[in-house]
Amino acid sequence: MKRQILISVLIAVGINHLSAEPPHGPGLGHAISPEEIAAWDISVFPDGEGLPKGEGNVKDGKALYKNKCIACHGENGLGTATGDQLAGAQMGLTSEYPEKTIGSYWPYATTVFDVVRRSMPMTAPGSLNDNEVYAVTAYLLFLNNLIGEDDVMDAVTLPKVKMPNEDGFINVYEEETSK
């Protein structure tokens, strides 16, 4: 009897999905349009997927930084008691007091855009438009000597910025699960 039920269940699942899939619930989800999803989705990946249109330069970024970021992150991104140091690392990662800045530690330039757009400034997150986020990103990369003063950041140039510590990470999960 039990086996019969199991077989019927398997057949039912098979008819619905033609392959083994996780169990179904009552199916109460609502469809959503691609346009609406695009408005929700602000995730930016290292290869540039998710980067919006627009562009920003170092000069504009510097002005924005002085206005919106400097209170916490300090002059030239050197950090304060309340905000991360973002640039100007003097001490290397193997030193007694390592400094983990965008230039010395962060593996991907796209992460700067992503976190500035979604989380910054802390007092008014989401208040910068995409051009402004590109500009602030450009200025921070410039402060870390990762781009030139005249470089412009956009969806094409940003993912190409070479980050010195890109290979500085050990993927512990991958190591464990590939054993």
Could you list the residues that contact another protein (CB under 8 A)? 17, 21-32, 34, 37, 40-46, 71-72, 80-85, 92-94, 97-98, 100, 102, 105-108, 110-111, 114-115, 118-119, 122-123, 125-126, 168-174, 177
Q: Are 83 and 133 in contact (CB under 8 A)?
A: no
**Could you identify the residue written with the tokens 């098979």?**
14
Residue with smaller CB distance to another protein, 56 or 83: 83
CB of 52 to another protein, least distance (A): 15
Residue with smaller CB distance to another protein, 122 or 148: 122
Residue with smaller CB distance to another protein, 82 or 129: 82
- Among 48, 138, 146, 157, which residue's Cα sits nearest to residue 103? 146
CB of 29 to another protein, least distance (A): 3
CB of 150 to another protein, least distance (A): 27
DSSP codes, 67-96: HHTHHHH-GGG---SSS---S---S-TTSS
Residue with smaller CB distance to another protein, 115 or 152: 115
Name, in order, each residue with C-beta under 8 angstroms of 74's C-beta and a sequence gap of 6 or more.
80, 83, 85
What CA–CA distance (Å, rounded) separates 30 from 24? 15
What CA–CA distance (Å, rounded) separates 39 from 94? 42
Residue with smaller CB distance to another protein, 102 or 161: 102
Three-state DSSP state, 129: coil
CB of 137 to another protein, least distance (A): 13
CB of 148 to another protein, least distance (A): 23
